[in-house]
Amino acid sequence: MRLRHIKGCEDFITDAKECLREDEAIALKGKIQDIFDVRRPLQIEIGMGKGQFIRNMALKNPGINFIGIERYESVLMKAIQRKRNLESEGAIDNLRFLCADARKLADIFETGEVDKIFLNFSDPWPKDRHANRRLTSPDFLQVYDRILKPEGVIEFKTDNVGLFEYSLEVVKDSKWKLDFCSFDFHSEKESEGNIMTEYEEKFSSQGNKICKMIISR
């Protein structure tokens, strides 16, 4: 999918006090929680899009710090703007953003620094030659293994059955174990209280089933 470039988004991201660029975050390795007023358990969403999910997670869980990670500046700009619009009712002080490539996360976060990782409706990269770009590929699972706490978990949601089946095979052949799996998550009792992304709302309203897995070591 071709993303529309928004003029001035690079400068907007650079000036945004609630956002770090990749080089700034790498320089802060080991001190990433200095961007928050208070240190708390840390959860991240990789490829957050316009940020609906992580905004609502931050609002619902004030005792947790959240970082939304997005590599595309035009998309990230919209996420920051929507956070600011909500803050007319009070600051969301437990949510920050990071403009970075997910492959660099082990250069940004210390070993065992992250409590939970969310992967929501990631790009499926359907061609076999692009499999290593999928956020559930073995290469990415190695990155997550480094930055997650020993008891940390990954929650993955998608409407793409092919990507979900691929991810299940990757988990089966790895050190990770499957704690929860459903090809129709919204029909499960575990979906009670589920916070949806923009894509999740769109796809489920069209009758698409949502797949979800939770994995840990």
Query: The domain spanning residue 49 has which CATH number?
Result: 3.40.50.150
Alpha carbons 95 and 197: distance in angstroms, whole number: 16
Asked whether residue 61 is assigned to any structural domain, the reply reads yes
Judge residue 148's burial from the number of C-beta atoms within 10 Å of its C-beta, 0-12 exposed, 13-18 middle, 19 or more buried: buried
Residue 169 lies in a domain: yes
Residue 107 annotated in ligand binding: no
- Per-residue pLDDT averaged across 186-194, rounded? 97
Does 2 map to a domain?
Answer: no
Q: Give the Cα separation of 77 and 50 in Å (integer).
A: 8
Give a yes or no: residue 4 inside a domain. no
**Does position 118 have pLDDT exceeding 70, yes or no?**
yes
Query: Residue 70, annotated ligand binder?
Result: yes
Provide the residue range defining the domain that includes 139. Answer: 9-216
Catalytic residue among 123, 128, 145, 173: 123
pLDDT digits (tens, 9 = 90+) for 50-67: 999 999 999 999 999 999
pTM above 0.85, yes or no: yes
Q: Give the pLDDT score at 6.
A: 80
How would you classify residue 51: left for phi > 0, otherwise alpha for psi between -120 and 50, otherwise beta? left
pLDDT band at 1 (very low <50, low <70, confident <90, very high): very low
Whether pLDDT at 145 is above 70 = yes
pLDDT digits (tens, 9 = 90+) for 167-182: 999 999 999 999 999 9
Is residue 106 in a domain? yes
User: Is the pLDDT assigned to residue 110 strictly greater than 70?
Assistant: yes
Query: What mean pLDDT do residues 160-164 have?
Result: 97
The answer on pLDDT for 125 being more than 50 is: yes
pLDDT tens string 2-52: 456 788 888 999 999 999 999 999 999 999 999 999 999 999 999 999 999
Please indicate, yes or no, if residue 173 is contained in any of the structural domains.
yes
Assigned domain for 72 exists: yes
CA separation for the pair 176, 216 (Å, rounded): 6
According to the annotation, is 192 in a ligand binding site?
Answer: no
- Mean predicted confidence (pLDDT) in 173-198: 97
Q: Into how many domains does the chain fold?
A: 1
CA-to-CA dists, residue 126 to 4, 33, 129, 202, angstroms: 21, 35, 9, 21
Determine whether the annotation assigns residue 145 to a binding site.
no
What confidence tier does 88 reach under pLDDT thresholds 50, 70, 90? confident
123 is catalytic: yes
**Residue 1 belongs to some domain of the structure:** no
Please name which of 27, 130, 5, 139 lies closest in space to residue 77, comparing C-alpha atoms.
5
